[in-house]
Amino acid sequence: MKKYAFGVDIGGTTIKIGLFETSGNLIEKWEIPTRTQENGTYILNDIAEAIAAKLAEKNISEKEIEGIGVGVPGPVGDDGTVYKCVNLGWSVFNVAIELERKTGFKVKVGNDANVAALGEMWQGGGKGYKNLVMVTLGTGVGGGVIINEKIIPGSDGAAGEIGHLRVKERETETCGCGNHGCLEQYASATGIARVTKKYLEEHDDETVLRNTPELTAKAIFDAAKLGDEVAIKMVDETAKILAKGLSLVACVVNPQVFVIGGGMSKAGDFLIEQVQKYYQEYAFHACKNTFFKLADLGNDAGIYGCVRMIIK
């Protein structure tokens, strides 16, 4: 094993890059803009140039580099082929081969959510476990499945899309995916805000939420922690439906632990304890001992996971 490796997490606005020791120590991280113009043709060149500049700055020889791990916001095949990344302007092409050609280093590519799960397993909230499901509660609900320390991407790279489990019938509003009643319509940060707004329109309960300038997930959780009954009800409903969804996931992959990340995870144990309570009610008996942990790495989970792909 060589001494260093790079982790590259490509987002729609910025590209996060980390220089690591292959032992897992993050030496330095930085960001460059994601230039999506002309169907994203500049992105891999920009990454190659940023890595070359960092090696020169640190006086590190190319012979000391194990490789580059890359996370992308879209489905990825085992060979590094990306099957369209709409946010980047990419169609179908092999990112691994292209970046290897531009840098001369070995390259591994994975879906960004799956790679974040791998990072949390390696150095984050899932450290010490070999089988886990990462759940990201943000604008949507994302997920990544790790079994025996390996990413499970599925045949089309869509494994772990737990946000699109259909958990409710007779939902009239459409999910971003085009379906109705998906988990992320209720258990994401935007979902809890949507459900709460609808509740306030249909009921006249007294609540501080009516006077909140911006009805966000944070505002709802903060009000619940202070004892607001409507906010408590909304958090309770969110925890219940999330627990039901995760109990279905557990029946399929039987993880040792669910690692909860994303912006909504900042609610901390207040959220985790509620989800665990309902999970115990819904879970199949052989899956009831699944642990719940908060993610530790935040926005760095992706670059950690990228490096983990390279070293194993």
Q: What is the 3-state secondary structure (H, E, C) of the chain?
A: CCCEEEEEEECCCEEEEEEEECCCCEEEEEEEECCCHHHHCCHHHHHHHHHHHHHHHHCCCHHHEEEEEEEECCCECCCCEEEEEHHHCEEEEEHHHHHHHHHCCCEEEEEHHHHHHHHHHHHCCCCCCCCEEEEEECCCEEEEEEECCEECCCCCCCCCCHHHCECCCCCCCECCCCCECECHHHHCHHHHHHHHHHHHHHCCCCCHHHHCCCCCHHHHHHHHHCCCHHHHHHHHHHHHHHHHHHHHHHHHHCCCEEEEECHHHHHCHHHHHHHHHHHHHHCCHHHCCCEEEECCCHHHHHHHHHHHHHHC
With contact defined as beta carbons under 8 Å apart, do 69 and 110 qualify?
A: yes
- Asked if the model's pLDDT at residue 76 lies above 90, the reply is no
Place of tokens 């990201």: 136
- Asked if the model's pLDDT at residue 183 lies above 90, the reply is yes
pLDDT digits (tens, 9 = 90+) for 134-152: 999 988 898 999 999 999 9
How would residue 74 be classed by pLDDT, with cut points 50, 70 and 90? confident
Q: What is the mean pLDDT of the chain?
A: 94
**pLDDT at res. 75:** 83
What residue ranges define each of the domains in the chain, with the CATH number in brackets? 4-120+300-311 (3.30.420.40), 128-296 (3.30.420.40)
**pLDDT at res. 78:** 85
**pLDDT at res. 77:** 85
Provide the whole-model pTM: 0.89
Rounded Cα distance, 89 and 100, in Å:
20
**pLDDT at res. 188:** 94
With contact defined as beta carbons under 8 Å apart, do 303 and 131 qualify?
A: no
- Asked if the model's pLDDT at residue 73 lies above 90, the reply is no
How would residue 159 be classed by pLDDT, with cut points 50, 70 and 90? confident
- Asked if the model's pLDDT at residue 157 lies above 80, the reply is no
How would residue 163 be classed by pLDDT, with cut points 50, 70 and 90? very high
Q: Which two tokens stand for residue 68?
A: 């580059």
- Asked if the model's pLDDT at residue 160 lies above 80, the reply is yes
**pLDDT at res. 204:** 95
How would residue 203 be classed by pLDDT, with cut points 50, 70 and 90? very high
- Asked if the model's pLDDT at residue 302 lies above 80, the reply is yes
Percent of the chain scored above 90 by pLDDT? 87
With contact defined as beta carbons under 8 Å apart, do 85 and 72 qualify?
A: yes
How would residue 158 be classed by pLDDT, with cut points 50, 70 and 90? confident
- Asked if the model's pLDDT at residue 83 lies above 90, the reply is no
